[in-house]
Amino acid sequence: MSKARILVQGIVQGVGFRPTVYRIANSLNLNGYVRNLGNIVEIIVEGNEEIINDFIENLKLNKPPISKISALKVEWLLSYEIEFNDFKILESSSKFSGSSVIPPDLATCDNCLEELLSPSDRRYEYSFTACTDCGPRFTVIKSVPYDRERTSMEEFSLCPECLAEYQNPEDRRYHAEATCCPVCGPSLFLYRDKVLNLEYPLREAVQLLDDGHILAVKGIGGTHLVASVTSDDTLLKLRKKLGRSNQPFACMSPNVETIKTFADVSNVEEKILKSRNRPIVVLNKNNNYFLSSYVSPELHNLGVMLPYSGLHHLIFKYSTEPAYIMTSANMPGEPMLTENKEIIKNLEGVADYFLLHNRRIINRCDDSVVRFRGDDMTFIRRSRGYVPEPYDFSRLNADLKVLALGPEIDVTFSLLNEGKCYVSQHIGDTTKYETFRYLQKSIEYLMDITKTDSVDAVVSDLHPLFFTTKLAHELSEMFDCEMIKVQHHHAHAASLAVDNEVEEMICITADGVGYGEDGTVWGGEILHYQGAEYERVGSLLSQKMVGGDLTTRYPIRMVMSILYDHYEYDELLDLMKRNYLSYFKYGLQEVDLVAKQLLNDFNIAQTSSTGRVLDAISAVLQICGERTYEGECAMKLESAAYNGYEKVNIPVKIKKQNGLDVLDTSKILLSVLNEKLAGERVNDIALAGQKAVSVGLAELAVKAADKVGVNVIGGSGGVFYNEAISTSVKDTVESAGYNFIQHKNSCAGDGSVSMGQAAVAALHFS
């Protein structure tokens, strides 16, 4: 008779792993037990050695569908103090401190949905229906091991029927910690000035939505503002109340068939829409698009998701609407609202009614957002449905513990422990006090559930004034560890390299802003990435940026800055006043002021940012004159180019600047302006302008790759969310004979900068 102790790490808690072990062991007549041991699952089995080996293989092949095994260690025992007569599931213990974690929140499974919609089922129309295959995880857990008493469900005592399911290893709700029913679980209520006395609050809420009202709806990881997508009046009212005149709203639709009535859906997009993760997917509007133009003003695409909770499914059961606006009920960059009192307080005057519930949200978690470039998916925001599932960093460094804090605005943080890199949910803009506090609390939480008591290094951005940099200083002192600063675009390249398992490449890092080694604003860089080291081998031409950050909001200032050295002073003034006066907030006075600043070289920064060049092209073409949300001008340029034809050619010129190969973006902007003044179609010029920038970046990268002898070229940074630019760069690189890589399971934008910082630190210590 043989005995073995098996330790399993990965996503093995809260996914029905223990009952699966129980069933397999019983089917093979093995004795022993299984239990949660801190962050790990421990299995003791007794029986024939060959059968135990069969058990291990069976477990790997037939594990629960949403579980993931990252490590499985087998120890053959010569003796064991306990004799077994059967196989049992034991209570959890917190003695072990491995690095397995709970799974992310997952969409309602088919079995629960069937119960939800079946009039004969006791969970009929119950919004909080869940089991081991679906429902909230990350958003309800307080600590590990993942048991009900350590979740927000501890406040709801199980009724006899639910308890019987919960204690039955053969039931899919065995130790499903979110198990509940209308008798014993959370409940919905509708609020307006007071809790309304209604038998069916959800049905009343849907009627209010269809009557044109705006509702705040508390969900799994936060609160959405919900409104009609077909009523211009309702959407204009919502935009006015939020102060978001143009920012696109995400929406939710009941099924893919309905989505196809207003948007194009490819096979790969449909697959991810229907996945258990249920992210928002950015889709192109189709020719039959009939939703309000105020859903995503002046854009050719919109973000759409399918229902991922019982509450969402029931909303659509009682509505004939094709979709609803489902946008986060918080100001841009600020944390999602989770507590009922704060929801009511903060959204008073915005929402007409509040559909709330009494289950606490432990962890805020925004919706994830993805976009496809052809058949290739990239994350715009990696959050609900994916967090806290870690990345495997074991090949970089399996022993180091690192805390990386990301940039400052579109922040996530990353925690590296035992070769696993846990990237947090979307945090937001840490220049805002509440978001900064949210960052601090989230760090404490993630360190707690991963059993990380201390770290060997804290990593920050290179920028000395970022709040995250200051926090990194404080944390490095608290943990008495080294602090490492990583340049923004180096971190971008590192996240791409880890995602694609490459050690060296030429990386095009194209975005809006990143603090450069020389103290200027970078954002169009060609880097020779070599793990912990990099070399800047090319860039966009360094341009003046009059008024500093004002150019990011008013891109006409960038236009004047670029054109200044190529126009006579009076001629430039005349051009601005005659064609672009409305783009200057203070009119004639501001035009003269900007010109004098350029003349006197006063309050001028330097930038190689791709984002600023694309914004300038957008302004020159009179597509967008003011950025009211992140990326607006470049996004509207992309949408204009989407409807363009390849009728205009804009030349690309590479030259030297301070010994560096650079793309002459002045020449590109001058060509765009000349084509505009010559009367060419704006959409065609937009397409040509984008292409010139992308081809120029690609040619810089190819030139660098030729020089250093690297055969892989990558693209990272927010500009690579633009499908046309990504495709153009890819085609140019591959036609030159190089392999081109992009982000697959990480964000091209700043959401994966912390992951890249952690990777650089790991390599630094290797």
Burial class (CB in 10 A: 0-12, 13-18, 19+), 498: buried
In DSSP terms, 40 is beta-bridged to 37
How far is 414 from 750, CA to CA, in rounded Å? Answer: 12
Yes or no: say if 326 and 308 are a contact pair by the CB < 8 Å rule.
no
CA quadruple 637, 526, 488, 399: dihedral sign: positive
Residues forming the active site = 18, 36
Quote the tokens at residue 578: 């005659």
Yes or no: say if 134 and 109 are a contact pair by the CB < 8 Å rule.
yes
CA 178-388-459 angle, to 5 degrees, is 150
Burial class (CB in 10 A: 0-12, 13-18, 19+), 656: exposed
The phi and psi torsions of 371 (rounded to 5 degrees) equal -145, 150
**Residue with tokens 């857990």, as numbered in its chain:** 141
Residues 6 or more apart whose Cβ sits within 8 Å of residue 67: 10, 11, 12, 15, 16, 17, 20, 103
Yes or no: say if 121 and 161 are a contact pair by the CB < 8 Å rule.
no
For 2, the 3-state DSSP assignment is: strand
Burial class (CB in 10 A: 0-12, 13-18, 19+), 631: buried
Yes or no: say if 599 and 515 are a contact pair by the CB < 8 Å rule.
no
Quote the tokens at residue 596: 């004098």
How far is 102 from 388, CA to CA, in rounded Å? Answer: 7
Longest dimension (CA), the chain: 95
Yes or no: say if 496 and 378 are a contact pair by the CB < 8 Å rule.
no
* DSSP secondary structure code for residue 349 in this structure: T
In DSSP terms, 139 is beta-bridged to none
How far is 234 from 240, CA to CA, in rounded Å? Answer: 10
For 392, the 3-state DSSP assignment is: strand
